[in-house]
Amino acid sequence: MRNVLLTAFKMYKSCLNRPKTRWAGVVILAGLFLFSCKTSKKVTVTKDMKTRLDNLLATVPDFSGVLLVADQGKIVYHKAWGYRSFETKESMDTASVFELASVSKQFTALTIMQMKEAGKLSFDDPIDKYLPGLPYTGVTIRHLLTHTSGLPDYQEIMDKYWNKTKVAGNTDNIAYLIQYHPPRLFEPGEKYAYSNTGYMLLASITEKVSGQDFITFCRTRFFGPAQMTQTDIRTVAEKKQLPNLAAGHIYVKEKQQYVPADSFPQFNYAIWLGNRKGPGRVSSTSADLLKWDRILYSGKIVKPETLLEAFSPTRLNDDSLSWYGFGWKIRQSKKGKVVWHNGDNPGYATQFERYIDADKTIILLSNNAHPKIPDILQSVEAIVEE
């Protein structure tokens, strides 16, 4: 900005030395003045935003996590609160790694979208073309992507029958769906009902079609190209080895304190379903998610027209619309279209919002799943949308 102002001022002085261009010099000076005023106003607004966000988070003293707000890819707010570990009182910082939970679903959807662009599948292919044996006919890949499949919850079946001293993966989940074949919830395309089963099956379809392990696929196609050096799909043991892990915590009312979420392994599906792929398991930082936000605008991951389909509502059988695309929820704001997703794992609550018309970004990651997070987000959105 300083260089721009210096250049404009030199042009103004040059014009003054030549009578025929003196009026041009006046115009340049006026433009310079207006540019300077506009720039100063923008800085003032940014400072006001920082103050308001600071004050907002100060009203929730036991919140633990990180908030990042960006405008056109430039960070305008990035701060951390609380602890990586409530036991050791190790302070949280903005480089901390969080479990993203269902924010991971966008990566799963994009594996399918890349396979579609490569001509290896169609969104309207029946899933039994790739996963034979499942006792559910009429379900397509599109139904899985948009949560309109009507498939039962695989986690309920695993919770009921699986030996929780073992760690289950997708092959086990699919085998139990076939063995116990719980009834479908509704006919495919009839309505929207959030389905982790669908995204678990999508990851398995990606492996079948690509011939590549799902985790390796995500590393080579997404995390590597976006230079997301802190992002991966990790096992429970691998996450514990991270020096900057923000461990998930749950508030225990009887003890009046936060305790590690993994203190209750029999209730923590992230442990006994620890090898599942598709519905969750990506762990990342706020800075890495901003890198991901930026590369999605570039067309390097999938074509803009493919991404547009992911950001569009789904038409149901009765011709009504469901406001979920391919791995993204959709809403309209004062600043235009917003695509977003939240995540919820034991001890974690996450939110990733992309104002794709206004090019603004909100990333909120918490490792104590604070009950006031919905209120915090609503206030952050109101500040960003002004």
Q: Which of 356, 327, 349, 277 is nearest to 141 (CA)?
A: 327
Work out the burial of residue 276: count CB atoms within 10 Å of its CB; fewer than 13 is exposed, 13-18 middle, 19 or more buried.
buried
Which residue(s) pair with 140 in the sheet? 126
- Give the tokens for residue 122: 């169609």
- Give the tokens for residue 34: 């207006």
Q: Which of 353, 358, 364, 363 is nearest to 386 (CA)?
A: 358
Catalytic residue among 85, 96, 102, 104, which? 102
**Residue type for 13, please?**
K
- Give the tokens for residue 239: 């996450």
Q: Are 63 and 57 in contact (CB under 8 A)?
A: yes
Mapped onto helix, strand or coil, the DSSP state of residue 368 is coil
The radius of gyration of the chain from alpha carbons, rounded to an integer in Å, stands at 24
Q: Are 97 and 242 in contact (CB under 8 A)?
A: yes
Render the burial of 279-316: b for 16+ CB within 10 Å, e for the rest.
bbbbbbbbbbbbbbbeebeeeebbeeebbebbbbebee
**Residue type for 263, please?**
S
Asked about 102 being catalytic, the answer comes back as: yes
Residues forming the active site: 102
